[in-house]
Amino acid sequence: RPGTLIERRWLDRALAHAPGRRVLDLGCGAGRPLGQYLAERRCRMSGVDAADAMATLYAATVPEAEAWHADMRELDLGARFDLLLAWDSLGHLPPEDQRAVFSVFAAHAAPRAALLFTSPHRAGVGARRMAGVPVYWAGIGAEETAAALAAAGFSLLVHAPAEAAAGGDDIWLARFTNAG
């Protein structure tokens, strides 16, 4: 995606809360511009995307990164990361999977890891246009998102509803506090 990195202040804020520079980008897409920006900040990037074409593009865009073609809902990398990023990806999951994926985040979170993600502002199932194409889009709402986050061992640091930097979606920044 060309243009201004409108997410920059959120990425910088998340890095300030992360205990290190190992980053797992869930639903990484092509890695442009978020993966590139974080790699330029000396982060050790790992990207996961359910679309093989996106994982391949990510590997080309962020060549120093590890890239996996995998479904985040079933992910088990056997590794822990200092920052987990799920920007513009949860909305592609059905509501029941959005609730469950926080346990996957917890399984990959290092002690005191930061989690930065976006979620649809409203609960419901429908479609959203991305690059002019309608795609599946669903949300569970802020209350259920906060509950799923807490149940997985994350403490909320910031919730910014309907944030312009996320195309009107909610932005969440949390810390993993349940390392046991």
Amino acid letter, residue 11 = L
φ, ψ of residue 79 in degrees (nearest 5): -140, 160
* Residue 127 pLDDT greater than 90, yes or no: yes
Over pLDDT 70: what percentage of the chain?
97
Going by C-beta distance under 8 Å and a sequence separation of 6 or more, which residues neighbour residue 57?
29, 30, 31
- SS3 of residue 115 by DSSP: strand
Long-range CB pairs of 32-35 (<8 Å, 24+ gap) are: 32/1, 32/61, 33/1, 33/3, 33/5, 33/7, 34/5, 34/7, 34/85, 34/87, 35/61, 35/62, 35/65
Query: Which tokens go with 144?
Result: 């259920």
Place of tokens 């243009």: 3
* Residue 140 pLDDT greater than 80, yes or no: yes
Q: What is the pTM of this model?
A: 0.95
pLDDT given for residue 130 in this prediction: 83
Q: Which of 83-87, 127-131, 134-138 has the lowest mean pLDDT?
A: 127-131
d(CA 43, CA 8): 14
* Residue 48 pLDDT greater than 60, yes or no: yes
The CATH T-level fold of domain 8-176 is Rossmann fold (3.40.50)
pLDDT given for residue 2 in this prediction: 55
Over pLDDT 90: what percentage of the chain?
92
